[in-house]
Structure 1
Amino acid sequence: MKQNRLFEFAIPFCRKITATACASAIALPLIAAPASAQGGKLSLVRDAETEDLLKDYARPIFKAAGIGDSPVEIILVNDKTFNAFVPDSRRMFINLGVIMEAETPGEVTGVIAHETGHIAGRHLVRLRSAAANAQIMTVIGMILGAGAMAAGAATGTPGAAQGGAAAALGAGSIGQRSFLSYQRGEEAAADRAALKYLRATGQSAKGMLKTFERFADQQLFASRFADPYAMSHPMARDRFRALAEAAQKSKYFNTPDSAEFTRRHAMVRAKLLAYTSHPRAVARAYPRSDKSMPAQYARAIAAMKSRSRGAIKQIDALIRQQPNNPYFYEVKGQALLESGNPKAAIAPFRKAVSLKPNEGQFLIWLGYALVGSNNPAVLAEAESVLKKGLHRDPNSSVGYSQLAIAHARQNERPQADLATARGLMVAGDFDAAKRYAARAQKKLKRGTPAWLQADDIVSYKPPNLKRR
């Protein structure tokens, strides 16, 4: 099966954007069209290099916000628009577009700092309370409106009935405006918190201001027709003016981004463009005349995607320049898998793991190549590597599917069924997961860790994600 470098995920979520813990690592090529909120799916992607960069951006900000010890997971959303959000205190969703549009690391750190302000300020908890209050106002308005309509009908006064109808219909608007006003206040609070975190970490807010200026320019025309009191976020131009003066007072305002972050940011931007765009778009953005490392990286990935015979040669040229870059070996292994040569992919994946031993995605790729090599002598190693990878990255259904194959080829059927069940749980297919878990449980020794895992799946009751 064709395996693309970035895993694609789907997380069901409800109206309040409450993401479940289940994400399916499906072996599909990036990039399918991201599903909307109305569609009930949130399309996500995985990439170790991008995730590592975002974690390094976020680490000092989380510490400054006092949430450094909290396990806040940064999750990449398969969407090229510039947006980010936090559904709870444990997850931060960042669109690919944030990184791809951001010209500097500071633009991304500004977004992370703002979203961290929501987490540290417990806005998500208070927001639910504000939503409840808005619903109460709406209900009261509906009751009053219904009472007026009933009185008008009883007295034969059409005007009173019509007035009551207007009150009932307007009640939702009153409640909504109150709720949106509360959200505007929280957005402003998150902005102020972001400036505080950037100052505390010795970083400039220029990137954050650039982001707001971009939004302000986009809204310049639209705002002529918008009702600012019916918007959940403050008007971007107003936010920009409010922040600019405070930001410029920081002694770090003219501090440039670190050279290392700037280098890594350019590499990740090139990678994401190459994986999410047509090779012709890559050629326009990074023409042959551009000899920079990001340009070489983008062209090598584009060549791999187009199944060019020269892809391995281009990747090897990158490796010669940076022989200790684990992500180059990962891309080489990917290219070899794409060309149908998993046996040859083992060596570069093994090298990537040696350079970054705790990266779960690298371990899963190595296990995948070992299984794909069809060599019975390496099945035990494949099983061990995949288990280590899944311990560090438990949301990979690809890892579970390969582990199931490794178990099956070693005639370990109950363990294979359990691995399949766990992969299906990650993918959100709870009914199928329960069937495989029940089958595994029958052949596993009662009370063992494997039996208990199967029992947990059989007993699992999925959360109610119906819209409310």
Structure 2
Amino acid sequence: MPRLKRLATMLALLCLTSFAAQPAAAQSVLRDAETEALLADMARPLFQAAGLSPANAKVVLIQDSSINAFVAGGQIVYVHSGLIDAADNANEVQGVIAHEIGHIVGGHAVFQGDGGYTNVSILSLLLGVAAMAAGSPEAGTGILMAGQRAAIGKYLAFSRVQESSADAAGSKFLNTAGVSGKGMLSFFDKLTAQMHRYGYYTTDPEVDPFAQTHPMSADRVETLRHDLQAAPSWNAPLDKGLEARFKRVQAKLRGYVNEPEVTLRIYPKTDNSVPAHYARAYAYHKSGYPDQAAAETAALVKAAPDDPYFLELEGQILLESGKPAEALAPLREATQRSNNQPLIATTFGHALIATEDKANLDEAERILRQAVARDDENPFAWFNLGTVYERKGDEPRTALATAERANLMGDARTALVSAHTAMAGLPQGSSDWIRAQDIMMVSQTAVDEDKRKGRGRNLQ
């Protein structure tokens, strides 16, 4: 049994290394106007307390059922959907965000390659799993346990220092922002309970509490408790507006990512609250029951007819149910009432195109150009704008929109070819021509780098 517990610890580290090795951009990012607005408002005072500009920092939602959050360079906090699902309130999520901002300010990275120990540790662990997969669990365990002990110990100690430092910084940011630290502590209580449940937290002397990337959650809670409770903000009331918005976002997220039967169990038909209608609308829509989804959405719109997010959902369900013409009115109103929020405007632009009425193309172009001007990192917006240009017979701008989308998707070859095509047809020196030239140069560099790496692999 002790050996299995040690193995579980090492496998947990393997999971961390495998996840960290995959770029954040490669994960499934969930984009939703209401969710992004909520996360921005929750994080804004914390970013400001940390001395960071909210205009240059943001929180991004990742579709992953595990309870986790991370930073991967820059001023971006990535939060898993599983964390939103597990949280009891917005204040708990703020506590996690404050901790991750501590990593940003501290300049922490999951792997920094200090002395080369990171690569050695990963290699040893991968070899161990390969041995177990080949039918030799004892050999695999031996490799995991014996491989590069000093290197792994060095990494684990380094990680624990980072985590403790982020805890201290996060508590400071909460206190400075006047946000209660109760959520940070209560969420750590959840982590402690999980460690008990899965056997990672135990008084067994065979389990080394230092053989973990993070300090034991109970120890972290005790370390933080004094600083947080001593702050004037400890008894600050929760922001009722944020908390109500959080319950809405949590519900719609559950409806979107969970299996419908799970959603309907959490939010039964007898629950007539706004979050329940929200969750069931997504669950029914996901299951292919448009009438039930429309009924749930109608209840939301009836309760708050001017709410842009309810109108957005109404239009989205109509659009995806094959009724684009009927979707135009709620989506147009949602766009206007949200001050032309780019994600909502993109859905509206898509609906205009989906009507296949040429009379709607000018409005679609105007709406979509505004959307990409305010948010140029939305591939779907560029796809729709390219569709408008194609139907209008504007080949150079169709190519430019394709180049923009390919550039965002990491398809350097398509971006390069499309940018060349756009430059050939656009007025030289115009803003669109210059943008195509920028994409062309960046894409050419990426293609050349891919070729260089390919030659390097052939020589090995």
TM-score by length of 1: 0.80
The Cα shift of 1:89 comes to: 2.7
**C-alpha contact (below 8 Å) 2:290/2:317 kept by paired residues:** no
Q: Is 2:158 the partner of 1:179?
A: no
Q: Of 76, 89, 92, which aligns to 2:74?
A: 89
1:320–1:242 Cα change, 3 Å: same
Instruction: Specify which of 223, 228, 233 is matched with residue 201 of structure 2.
Output: 223
In the alignment, is the contact (CA less than 8 A) between 1:70 and 1:90 conserved in 2? no
Structure 1 counterpart SS, 2:59: strand
Question: Pick from 384, 390, 393: which aligns with 1:402?
Answer: 384
| In 2: Cα distance, 1:443 partner to 1:134 partner | 50
Q: Among residues 247, 250, 255, which one is paired with 1:269 in the alignment?
A: 250
What is the letter of the counterpart of residue 223 of structure 1? Answer: Y
Q: For the structure 1 residues 252 and 445, does the alpha-carbon distance in structure 2 shift closer, same or farther, using more than 3 Å as the test?
A: closer
1:327 aligned to 2:309?
yes
Query: Aligned-pair distance for 1:71?
Result: 0.5
- The aligned counterpart of 1:462 is 446
Aligned counterpart for 1:363 among listed residues 318, 332, 345 = 345
**What residue is the counterpart of 1:118 in the other structure?**
103
Pick closer, same or farther for the CA change 1:343–1:133 going to 2, 3 Å: same
In structure 2, what is the equivalent of residue 152 of structure 1? none
Other-structure match for 1:209: 185
- C-alpha deviation, 1:271, in angstroms: 0.4
Whole-angstrom distance in 2 between the partners of 1:134 and 1:70: 36
Separation (CA, whole Å) in 2 of partners of 1:107 and 1:419:
40
Note if contact 2:118-2:155 (Cα within 8 Å) is conserved in structure 1. Answer: no
Is the 1:370–1:382 Cα contact (8 Å) retained in structure 2? yes
Residues 380-419 of structure 1 deviation map (CA, whole Å, 9 limit, x = unaligned): 1211111111122212211111111111111101111111
CA distance in 1, matches of 2:291, 2:19: 47
* Cα 1:207/1:123, change in 2 over 3 Å: same
Deviations 1:396-443 (A, max 9, x none): 211111111111111101111111121121122221222222222222
1:199 is matched with 175
Give 1:233 deviation, angstroms: 1.2
Offset of residue 14 of structure 1: 9.4
Aligned AA (1:424): A
- Check if 1:377 corresponds to 2:353: no
SS in 2 for 1:93: strand
Residue number in structure 2 paired with 1:31: none
Query: Are the structure 2 counterparts of residues 279 and 179 from structure 1 closer, same or farther at C-alpha, using a change threshold of 3 Å?
Result: closer
Task: Report the secondary structure of 1:74's partner residue.
Answer: strand
Deviation (angstroms), 1:128 = 6.3
1:421 aligns with 2:403: yes
Residue 380 to residue 219, structure 1, CA distance change in 2 (3 Å)? same
Instruction: Report if aligned partners of 1:18, 1:87 keep a CA contact under 8 Å in 2.
Output: no
Greater relative contact order (Cα < 8 A, sep 6+):
1
For residues 402 and 134 of structure 1, the distance between their equivalents in structure 2, rounded to whole angstroms, comes to: 46
Distance 2:85 2:19 in 1: 27
2-structure distance, mates of 1:226, 1:427: 44
Q: Is contact 1:134–1:179 with CA below 8 Å preserved after alignment?
A: no
Identity of aligned residues (%): 35
> 2:387 and 2:46 mapped to 1: Cα distance?
42
Runs (5+) with no aligned partner, structure 2: 1-16, 122-144, 454-460
Gaps of 5+ in 1: 1-12, 24-40, 140-168
Deviation, structure 1 residue 364:
0.8
Q: Which deviates more, 169-178 or 48-57?
A: 169-178
- Match runs of 1:63-462 below 5 Å: 63-68=48-53, 71-124=56-109, 131-133=113-115, 135=117, 172-220=148-196, 221-224=199-202, 226-305=207-286, 306-459=288-441, 460=443, 461-462=445-446
Distance in 1 between the 2:317 and 2:373 partners?
Answer: 26
Measured after TM superposition, the shift of residue 134 of structure 1 is 5.5
